[in-house]
Amino acid sequence: MGFLSECTSGGCGAKIGPGELAELLKGVPGFGGMMDPKLLVGFASADDAAVYQITPDLALVSTVDFFSPMIDDPYQFGEIAAANALSDIYAMGAAPLFALNLVCFPQKMDKGILKAILAGGAAKVKEAGAVIAGGHSIYDHEPKYGLAVTGQVHPGKILRNDSCREGDCLILTKPLGVGLVTSAARAGLAEPRIYEAALASMTRLNRYAAEKMKDFPVSACTDITGFGLLVHGMEMAGPNHTLVIDTDSLPLLPGAYDFAADYYATAAGQRNFNYFGDKFILEDISPAIKEILFDPQTSGGLLISVPADKAQALCDAICQDDPQARIIGQVVAREDRPAASTCYPEKAGGAGVPIILV
């Protein structure tokens, strides 16, 4: 019996719902209250990681991520957990330095499984050019694994998630549908080819796409994880912008659309929709695409906002190592009507009715 069958929920889909989280944090000292001026990015901006300035040229970036397994292979689960934890560092434009393991593991479960998880995590941290510096482990009913990662960035080069500009184009670096495919796989519906593609996407570090950004005037960046493309996109849009997404351009994992069209929806996707569905103009979007737009992405790709005249060059550069990256939309001023959505006048046949983030 695989260790996955012991778990009730896994991956980023196990995240506490966004609305629920905001409610829980209300009134907690430090959240929204007086801040240390050296805390350049904190909770107030709902960004991917915290950034703390040390010197005029150096800031530390700190993030933590852990979850229970969403796949059955412990080594690959370790790789995915590490790629997912490291991703927040890359989304800030930073480079990882070291990581600490977080482990919850059942007393009675085969410890060989835990060894494999840790080996998978260590391999990804090594690939990221960082080191594992320690960790903490406890016994628990269900296995959980993740890492607290510390990185560094020049304070002038921080990439925030909400600083997109009107006229920017949006690039998504990994295909969507991870939640749909992994939950279908748990129910025995995904053939190996489909499952392997989702695994490859989840274990892929965002390092390579992030490195390409350094040569371009990127305005904003975030990583797409448990809240799905639209809710993370909403954080990027902030109060002053609207993201217009061309649904025909979205890169999708094989199988994802079919599972969505067959109504094999995930619980976390529906929770995302319940909290935020009314913020978006989704009227002419097919039910299957809607499912994909709210699908939780464990170790998903980066969503990058970059001036339109540089977008194709950046997308081409990212595609050298991550060939599924696509330009998926455009940033417009708030309240702009849908007719303004001409992201690709040169591209025929692509533009569906845009989704407006409001």
β-bridge pairing 131-139 and 95-105:
parallel
Q: Mark the segment that binds other proteins (CB under 8 A) among 125-133, 152-160, 205-213, 348-356.
A: 348-356
Bridge partners of residue 249, in order along the sequence: none
Site for other proteins in 154-183 (CB under 8 A): 183
Q: Is 341 in the site for other proteins (CB under 8 A)?
A: yes
Q: Are 92 and 151 in contact (CB under 8 A)?
A: yes
Q: Mark the segment that binds other proteins (CB under 8 A) among 19-27, 57-65, 97-105, 286-294.
A: 286-294
Q: Is 354 in the site for other proteins (CB under 8 A)?
A: yes
Q: Is the CB of 91 or the CB of 190 nearer to other proteins? A: 190
The residue within the footprint of other proteins, chosen from 53, 150, 201, 247 (CB under 8 A), is 247
| Angle in degrees, CA 204, 205, 208, rounded to 5 | 110
The residue within the footprint of other proteins, chosen from 39, 46, 261, 308 (CB under 8 A), is 261
The residue within the footprint of other proteins, chosen from 45, 62, 152, 286 (CB under 8 A), is 286
- For the window 184-213, what string marks contact with other proteins as x by the rule CB under 8 A? x-xx-x------------------------
Q: Is 270 in the site for other proteins (CB under 8 A)?
A: yes
Q: Is 45 in the site for other proteins (CB under 8 A)?
A: no
Q: Is the CB of 29 or the CB of 349 nearer to other proteins? A: 349
Rg (CA), the chain: 19
Q: Are 121 and 137 in contact (CB under 8 A)?
A: no
Give the binding-site size for other proteins (rule: CB under 8 A): 40
Q: How far is the CB of 278 from other proteins (least distance, A)?
A: 15
Pairwise CA distance, residues 96 & 232, whole Å: 22
Bridge partners of residue 132, in order along the sequence: 99
Q: Is 280 in the site for other proteins (CB under 8 A)?
A: no
Q: Is 54 in the site for other proteins (CB under 8 A)?
A: no
Q: Is 169 a catalytic residue?
A: no
Q: Is 267 in the site for other proteins (CB under 8 A)?
A: yes
Secondary structure of 241-307 as H, E, C letters? EEEEECHHHCCECCCHHHHHHCCCCCHHHHHHHHHHHHHEECCCCCHHHHHHHCCCCCCCCEEEEEE
Q: How far is the CB of 269 from other proteins (least distance, A)?
A: 8
Q: Are 193 and 207 in contact (CB under 8 A)?
A: no
The residue within the footprint of other proteins, chosen from 264, 307, 308, 334 (CB under 8 A), is 264
Pairwise CA distance, residues 322 & 341, whole Å: 26
User: Helix or strand or coil: residue 233?
Assistant: helix
The residue within the footprint of other proteins, chosen from 137, 240, 320, 342 (CB under 8 A), is 342
Q: Mark the segment that binds other proteins (CB under 8 A) among 86-94, 157-165, 197-205, 263-271.
A: 263-271
Q: How far is the CB of 350 from other proteins (least distance, A)?
A: 6
Pairwise CA distance, residues 70 & 169, whole Å: 32
Q: Are 300 and 48 in contact (CB under 8 A)?
A: no
Catalytic residue among 7, 12, 169, 221: 12
Alpha carbon distance, N-terminus to C-terminus of the chain: 46
The residue within the footprint of other proteins, chosen from 1, 8, 192, 214 (CB under 8 A), is 8
Residue 339 is given by DSSP the state G
**The 58-67 sheet, strands edge to edge:** 39-41, 50-55, 58-67, 144-153, 95-105, 131-139
Q: Is 345 in the site for other proteins (CB under 8 A)?
A: yes
> Active-site positions?
12
Interface residue list for other proteins (CB under 8 A): 8-9, 183-184, 186-187, 189, 247-248, 259, 261-267, 270-271, 274, 284-288, 338-342, 344-345, 347-354
